[in-house]
Amino acid sequence: MHDRSHLAGQPLTSISVPEQCVCELLTPLLRSHGIGDSIVPPSDDGYIFSAFEFFLPGVLREIHAEWRYESLDGIYPATFCKTGDREIELIGLALFISDQTLTPLHVRLQLSPDFDCVSWVDLKLGERIDGECRRDPYGSAKASGTMLHVTNRLDSIDWYYHVGYGEQRS
């Protein structure tokens, strides 16, 4: 048994460890960029996208039972920018861990005023083609083409998954 007496009187957090990581990694990036700026994480800190690899499947699991056994193994951004106060937009491709295939990704999220939790998220993943989620093999020319065009096709993609929660705050 672990001694937890040092925690007495402190509130327990209700947010997940992946959400905490997203907040910790996004906070300095959001504070150091203006609205509309592209965010380029320091070259030694690609970890921000790893945090999303763990956080986004948790959001999907809330609604989609099949995500209980699925996860992400990579996020490849085409666009990563600050779109509002405490708010980012991430557009690119996500790599499924189960079969190493790529699919389009569009995430918008906002951190709380205290930067301690995600207050609002809008997550779109996968393109619906003939009722199935489009999955292109990692490294294929088709996947490369998808990456180049996903930003320009956001409004025309029939998203396979679309999950959101919270309320966008100003």
Residue 51 located in a structural domain: yes
Degrees, nearest 5: CA angle 31-21-136: 100
Global model pTM greater than 0.85: yes
- Identify each DSSP E strand in 17-117 by its residue range: 72-84, 87-96, 101-111
pLDDT in tens, 3-60: 333 334 434 457 889 999 999 999 999 999 999 999 987 766 557 899 999 999 999 9
pLDDT at 46: 58
Residue 97 located in a structural domain: yes
Residue 157 located in a structural domain: yes
Residue 137 located in a structural domain: yes
Q: How many domains does the chain have?
A: 1
39 lies in which domain range?
A: 15-166
Residue 123 located in a structural domain: yes
CA 163, CA 147: separation in Å to the nearest integer? Answer: 21
Residue 1 located in a structural domain: no
Tokens describing residue 145: 């083409």
Residue 9 located in a structural domain: no
Residue 52 located in a structural domain: yes
